[in-house]
Each structure stands twice: as structure tokens, then as C-alpha cells.
Amino acid sequence: MSVHGIVLFGHGARDGRWAEPFERLAVKLRDAHGTAGPVALAFLELMSPDLPTAVAEQVAAGCAAITVVPVFFGQGGHVRRDLPALIDACRVAHPGVTIHCAIAAGEDDGVLDAVADYCLRQIAGSSSPAD
């Protein structure tokens, strides 16, 4: 079976704590994806590694295919313009590797259902005037 890597692509932020849910997401995916391939984070800006570095590491680890998932809530300019340019550069750099780019995770109905469920739980938990 060929090795299929997953790269979780996030925006990045100055505050290091911003990346914590991305790291927890990567742990969940490593558990689920198992021996099928590596799972890595990559960031557009302000955090490292960048996408070309993360992709090159997965290629060096033997990945024949890599799926990049934009962990963004919406498909704005970063996902529609910046990311395709990065993906194209990765494809040129690694012509033997199939690099697939997903739609932003926040566009997925299952993700939106989970966010809606989270919102409703906040209402249920805010009957006392908490902060």
C-alpha cells in the first residue's frame, strides 16, 4: 500500500496557543490514519513549517500521495488564491507525487453541524451569568 500523507494547513498566528487545537487535531488524525501515512501541520504565515517544507518532509518520508486540508472556516483569498499557488509550487517540486487539495474544512456540513451543536451547548451552559 502506498504511503498517503495528510497536511493540515492553517493560517498561523503570533500567539503560540493559537496552534493548540491544530496539534490536538493532528494527534486525533495520527491515531485514526495510523500506518497509512504521516500527519503534519503547515501554516500560511507567522508559524512554521510552511507548506512547501511540510510537503517536502512527507515526500522524503516516502509519501506517494499527499492530501492538504485547509483548516479554515471559509474559502477566502487565502484558500482560493494563496493556497493554490503554494500547491502548484509543491507539484512542480515533486512531480512524482500526487498532491490533492481539499475544500476548506469549515465548508463541510458535518463540521458545521458540530459547530452548531457546540453553540447550542454554550447556550445551555450559560444560564448563570458566567464569563
Cell numbers found for residue 1 = 500500500
Nearer to a copy of itself, 36 or 61 (CB): 36
- Cα 83 to Cα 18, 60, 96, 97: the distances in Å are 20, 21, 20, 17
Shortest distance in whole angstroms from residue 124 CB to a copy of itself? 10
Chain contacts with a copy of itself (rule: CB under 8 A)? 4, 6, 8, 10-11, 13-15, 17-22, 24-25, 28-29, 32-33, 36, 65, 67, 69, 71-77, 80, 98, 100-102, 104-120, 122-123, 126, 129-131
Shortest distance in whole angstroms from residue 69 CB to a copy of itself? 5
Shortest distance in whole angstroms from residue 53 CB to a copy of itself? 20
C-beta separation of 86 from 51 below 8 A: yes
* Count of beta carbons in the 10 Å neighbourhood of residue 56: 15
